[in-house]
Structure 1
C-alpha cells in the first residue's frame, strides 16, 4: 500500500470520490473524524454504501478499510457489525497497546464473520499511537496471523506530551523503533499522515524519510496527497534496474556468493531486490486495472 486515503464515515458524499481516486486503499473512519453523537448515523451511511457495492468490485484494485473505535468504547459492537463485511478487507484498530487487544479483535471479527457466512478472514491493521503501544510494539507485531501491518499515529503519540509532531529527527527515531519491531515478524509498516494539506514539500520530505526506513506507504488526509505518496513509494526506475541487475548477477554466478558493483550479494540483498521487482509488478498491474 503506497497511499491510504482517510474518509470520514459521516461524509457519504465523499465515498464514491474516494473509491475512484488513485489511492491504493480507502479508510472509512468511524473514530477521530466523527463526533461521538454522529457515529450511529455514520455507521448507517457506511453500511448502506457497502451493501450497494457489487461484491468484490472495488477490492480487486483497492483495499477498503474501516477504522473502528477502541475495544473499550461504547461504539465497538456496532462498529464491528458494520465493518465485518464482504467488501471490507482490513479493519483498523486505533491506539493499540497490547497483543491481547489484537487477539481479542481477531476473535470478535471471526465470530461475526462466521455468523455472516464470510469465507475469507479479515485482516487487521494496528495503529501505534501511545507510549505504551510503542513500548509493546514487538509483542503486538507477533500477536496474530490476521495482523498484516502496523502504522504510526504521530499526532496522538506526541502532541499530548508537548513533543513537536513534525520534527523529522523525532519522527525518524520513532519510525525506526516500529520498523524493527515489525520486521522481526515480517510485517509491513505504514506511515502516519502529514497534518498540513497545503504543505506538499513537507509531505514529500516526510514520506521520503519514511521510505528510507522501509515504510511501504503513507496515510493521506486529502486527495492532493495521493499522487505524492504513490510516486514516492513506487520503486524508482533506477531502483528497479539495480534490483534486476542484482538478481541477474546472482543467477549467473557459478559460486555461492557474487558481487555487484563491488558489493557482495548475499541473501538479504537478494531478498530486497526480489521485493522491489514484486512491488513494481503489483503497482503496474493496479494502474492497468
Structure 2
C-alpha cells in the first residue's frame, strides 16, 4: 500500500494542551487524529504546564480512539527543544513540527525522539514562503510521514488573504510535492465555526487537489470533513469497476461504463480503493 494511504487522513481535531476539559470530546468526536497543541494556543509562561497536561492526554488515550498526536513549538525556540526532550519520555505516536523550512528540522526531531522501540510519525507544518519554495527538499526527508499546510501563518507572512483562491498556489505546490514524495498532506483548518457549507466546500476542494485530510478546530467540524474525504458509493463503484476491468482484460485501455480508461485511470482507481480500505479499518 502507498505510504500516502497508510498515514492517517480525514479529520484531525486540534485541542489546546491546557484545555484538559476538552480532551474527552477530542477522543470521542470521530476524528482520525486528536492533536494536542503546545504552540500557538499556549502562552510562553505556560509552556511547562502545557507539557504536563499533554503527557496526561497521552497516558489516558484509549487504543480504539483517534491517534494521539502533539504539535510542538518550533525547533528554533527553546520551548521547541524542551518539547522534544519531554516527548522522548512520553512517547506520543505522532509529532507535528511547526515552522519547518528545512529537512534538517525533521532530522533533528528524529535524532532526539527515535529510540529502541519508539519511532514516532514525524510531520512537518509548512506555513512560510521559504518552506513552499523548499517543499520538495523538505518532503524528501526519510523520516517524514506527512505535511500540514498552515494557511494562517502563510497568509500573514505573505500579506495574502485566507481565501481559497489566494492560497491556491501554495496548496497546489504542497500537494504536488507530497505526491512526488509519497507522503500524506493535511489541509489547514477552516476558521469560521458557523459556516458549515464553506467548510464542506473547502474540504472538497482540498481533496480534489490531492490533500488526504483537513484539520478541525472544533468537534462540530469533524462530520463535514469526514464526509468530504470519504469516497462516495458511486466513486467506489466506478473505481472497483476500473480495477476489475484491468484485472479481467489486462488491457492498457478499456471501456468501463462508457468511459475510455487507461493507465492513469487505473492508478487513480487503485489508490481510491486502497484509501477506502484504510479508512474502513
TM-score (norm 1): 0.89
Query: Could you say what secondary structure the match of 1:163 adopts?
Result: coil
247-256 vs 7-16, which moves further: 247-256
Aligned to 2:100: 96
Matches within 5 A, 1:1-289: 1-53=9-61, 57-58=62-63, 60-84=64-88, 88-110=92-114, 114=115, 117=116, 119-144=117-142, 146-165=143-162, 167-260=163-256, 261-266=258-263, 268-285=264-281
Q: How far apart, in 1, do the equivalents of 2:252 and 2:204 lie? A: 34
Q: Deviations over 1:249-281 (max 9, x none)?
A: 111115344332332321x32222122112222
CA contact (8 A) 1:66 1:83 kept: no
Paired with 1:86 and 1:183, the residues of 2 have a C-alpha distance of 31
Secondary structure class of the residue paired with 2:165: helix
Deviation at 1:143, TM superposition (A): 1.3
Instruction: Tell me if structure 2 keeps the 8 A contact 1:63–1:88.
Output: no
Measure the CA separation in 2 of the matches of 1:204 and 1:87.
34
Q: Please give the TM-score of this superposition, normalised by the length of structure 2.
A: 0.91
Query: Which residues of structure 1 form unaligned runs of 5+?
Result: none
Quote the Cα distance in structure 1 between the aligned partners of 2:28 and 2:184. 25
Structure 2 residue matching 1:34: 3-state secondary structure:
coil
Deviations 1:154-191 (A, max 9, x none): 110012332111x2212222211111111111111110
In 1: Cα distance, 2:45 partner to 2:189 partner: 25
Listed one character per residue, the Cα deviations across residues 82-108 of structure 1 (whole Å, up to 9, x for unaligned) are: 434666221000011011111111111
Shift of 1:284: 2.6
Which of the pair has the greater relative contact order for Cα pairs under 8 Å at 6+ separation?
2
Residues 191 and 219, structure 1, Cα contact 8 Å, conserved in 2: yes
1:246·1:265 contact (CA, 8 Å) conserved in 2?
A: no
What is the distance in 2 between the residues matched to 1:48 and 1:230? 27
* Cα RMSD, aligned residues only: 1.7
Q: Which runs of 5+ in 2 are unaligned?
A: 1-8
Instruction: Say which SS state the counterpart of residue 170 (structure 1) adopts.
Output: coil
Task: For residue 255 of structure 1, give the secondary structure of its aligned residue in structure 2.
Answer: coil
Counterparts in 2 of 1:160 and 1:255: CA distance versus 1, 3 Å: closer
The farther-off stretch of 25-34 and 194-203 is 194-203
Contact 1:30-1:66 within 8 A present in 2 as well: yes
3-state SS of the aligned residue for 1:189? strand
